[in-house]
Structure 1
Amino acid sequence: MKLSDILNSADKPLFSCEFFPPRTDKGEENLWSCLKELQAINPAYISVTYGAGGTTQDRTKGIVSRIKDKTGLSPVAHLTCVGASKTQLGELLAEYKAAGINNILALRGDAPEGMNSFEAVAGGFSYATDLIAFLREQGDFSIACATYPEGHPESKGGVADDIRYLKMKQDNGADCAITQYFFDNDTFFRFRDQCDAAGITLPIIPGIMPVGNFEQIVRFSSMCGAVIPAWLHEKMTPIQHDLDAVKALGIELAAKQCRELLEADAPGLHIYTLNKSEATIAIHQQIKDLL
């Protein structure tokens, strides 16, 4: 089902999930096991990433096609500007179209490993805004984009820049935006109010990262610019080496965060699963009365 149709027909907030393509066959077996378990909660859509430089692009194509054909769930394929010319992107989109994949999450993408900054290849795109405009020209795709309530880590103008870029993404054809994960809901609420004032009307869906390994989340956050509040450090640091305790607290805190967001009229929630189903299902169980 097209993402735009899912958004337009929803009479309740959406609940969706993100996976990354594993690099090994064993990891892929685990992915399908997780997806099978998640079918019980019927997520509105499943997004699938691919690595810097398109390093898992073939696995991404295979996974989104199999999700569509075998699970009944609606897949969303990530697409970035990294390492691909306009011609190559057009060829990939033609393959997706032929396979019946019509949902794309358009991103600029991170610089490949070993590069200090992003550089477009010859004939490629430098910005997600341009990729979105190109996608809109290529056919009947439904387009999601990313946004950063705490500001993109490379942004010199902070949140104000991100709001300006989000307005451009909307004007170029994006149907919705999914946020980078955050832990302070007030940050999201402020960002949403500022977007409203800037004329941004597309649904802005909060991204949620349940903490299952605190050291890992600290590492992720240092790379993507997500802020870990002092209160979360205080709760997690004493138990960080007890993974069962961290996981239980992470689910409790994420469910509380999700409930508050939904009660404040968030249009949905997008869970970064890290290819694990337990936390996502547990969170859904605690908030399903709002979905």
Structure 2
Amino acid sequence: MTTPDFSIEFFPPKTPEGADKLRATRARLAVLDPKYFSVTFGAGGSTQQGTLDTVLDIRSEGHEAAPHISCLGSSRARLRDILTEYRDHGIRRLVALRGDLPSGYGAVDFSSGEFRYANELVEFIRAESGDWFHIEVAAYPEMHPQAKSPQDDMQSFARKVQAGANAAITQYFYNADAYFRFVDEAHRHGVQVPIVAGVMPITNYMQLMRFSEMCGAEIPRWVRLKLASFGDDSDSIRAFGLDVVTTMCERLLAGGAPGLHFYSLNQSGPTIAICERLKATGA
């Protein structure tokens, strides 16, 4: 049986103090021996330099790092420069996403850009860099919020993989059945790459509701009502969230998920708590 991979996502800090805090967070998370740390890329490339700086910081500490790269709002020339810079630094892994436009951009900008979809970005990376990069793409077990239908969303996912992706990371979810159904459907569409489950620890009810509204992730009714019943009792929210997420992760791994990708929000405690619980149960 293959040992599942663990990876952890950060966002680029905006201040020197934030960078120091993230280094301390990484040091605590490094004991989990993640396969790599990924670093997000802001809308329209707004954090490009911060993404690179954080990735290089991670690599200087001896860990593998994967910058996110997005195509909306970017030209071919600009993306070519980014890819060249990453190659020059010896970076071998990317998370390739369609991404979001900065606020204030409308549909005209979307339709007139050089790239519209993530499969076009993957094709471009392969054309420019061959097999240099291991490319991860996004998957949406509960459907991308802008997709026309589940069928259309699955076809879009399959196109990204066919364009040259090596693996996929899902949006977070709290219904393991949605993940397993998605994987089965992907297999029926000829997708054979690993589909790693994205995991969002539960630590703050209002924050989770806000994030889920934006990305289309469903919070099961029983979980939502239980979290709401705790009010401002953050300790109870975290304890309940740890139980819910750990139980789901146990089921995912038992069901054959090839790995877990933790959306850390630049915090170490929640991810460590889940992983320690998983280790204790033998998951």
| 2:126 alignment counterpart | 136
Partner of 1:20: 11
**Does the 8 Å CA contact 2:96/2:118 hold for their aligned counterparts?**
yes
CA drift at 1:278:
0.3
Report the secondary structure of 1:181's partner residue.
Answer: coil
* TM-superposed deviation, 1:162: 2.0
Q: Give the deviation of 1:114 after TM superposition.
A: 2.3
Instruction: Give the 3 Å change call, closer, same or farther, for CA 117–46 of structure 1 in structure 2.
Output: farther
The answer to whether the aligner puts 1:156 opposite 2:155 as a matched pair is: no
The list of structure 1 runs, each at least 4 consecutive aligned residues, that deviate by more than 2 angstroms after superposition, is 114-124, 288-291
Aligned residue for 1:76, secondary structure, equals strand
**CA-to-aligned-CA distance 1:15-65 (integer Å, 9 cap, x gap):** 111110122222221111110101111111111002112111101001111
For residue 147 of structure 1, what is the aligned residue in structure 2?
139
* Alignment partners' CA distance in 1, 2:20 and 2:268: 13
Q: 2:205 aligns with which of 210, 214, 224?
A: 214
| Cα distance change of structure 1 residues 123 and 90 upon mapping to structure 2, 3 Å threshold | farther
Deviations along 1:165-188, whole A, 9 cap, x unmatched?
Answer: 121111110000000000111111
Shift of 1:290: 4.7
Cα distance in 2 for partners of 1:69, 1:169 equals: 31
Q: Give 1:45's aligned residue.
A: 36
Partner of 2:275: 284
Secondary structure at 2:146 match in 1? coil
**CA 1:117–1:236: 2 relative to 1, 3 Å:** farther
Deviation by residue 1:250-284 (Cα, 9 ceiling, x = unmatched): 12211111001000010000110010000101111
The whole-number CA distance in structure 1 between the counterparts of 2:107 and 2:197 is 27
Tell me which residue corresponds to 2:263.
Answer: 272
What's the counterpart of residue 81 of structure 2? 91
Instruction: Measure the CA separation in 1 of the matches of 2:266 and 2:86.
Output: 23
Distance 1:125 1:24 in 2: 31
CA distance in 2, matches of 1:118, 1:108: 16
Q: How does 1:129-278 map to 2 (within 5 A)?
A: 129-139=119-129, 140-157=132-149, 159-278=150-269
Q: 1:106 to 1:290 in 2, by over 3 A?
A: farther
The alpha-carbon deviation at position 124 of structure 1 amounts to 2.6
Q: Helix, strand or coil for the counterpart of 1:119?
A: helix
In structure 2, the residue matched to 1:78 is: 68
Amino acid of the residue matched to residue 144 of structure 2? H
Q: CA deviation at 1:204?
A: 0.6
**What is the distance in 1 between the residues matched to 2:135 and 2:123?**
10
Separation in 2, partners of 1:221, 1:123? 28
Shift in CA distance, 121/35, structure 1 to aligned 2, threshold 3 Å = farther
Structure 2 residue aligned with 1:100, among 69, 84, 90?
90
* Deviations, residues 42-91 of structure 1 (Å, cap 9, x unaligned): 11111100211211110100111121122x22111100013210011001
TM-score by length of 1: 0.92
Contact 1:86–1:124 (CA under 8 A) maintained in structure 2? yes
With 42-51 and 119-128 compared, the bigger mean Cα shift is at: 119-128
Query: How much does 1:145 deviate?
Result: 0.2
Q: Which piece of structure 1 moves more, 117-126 or 105-114?
A: 117-126
CA drift at 1:125: 1.1
Alpha-carbon RMSD: 1.7
Instruction: Measure the CA separation in 2 of the matches of 1:257 and 1:76.
Output: 26
**Cross-structure match for 1:5:** none
Structure 2: unaligned runs, 5 residues or longer: none
Which moves more between the two structures, 108-117 or 246-255? 108-117
For 1:94 and 1:229, the matched residues in 2 are separated by 43
SS in structure 1 of the partner of residue 136 of structure 2: strand
SS in 1 for 2:109: coil
TM-score by length of 2: 0.94
Count of aligned pairs between the two proteins: 280
Structure 2 counterpart of 1:143, which letter?
I
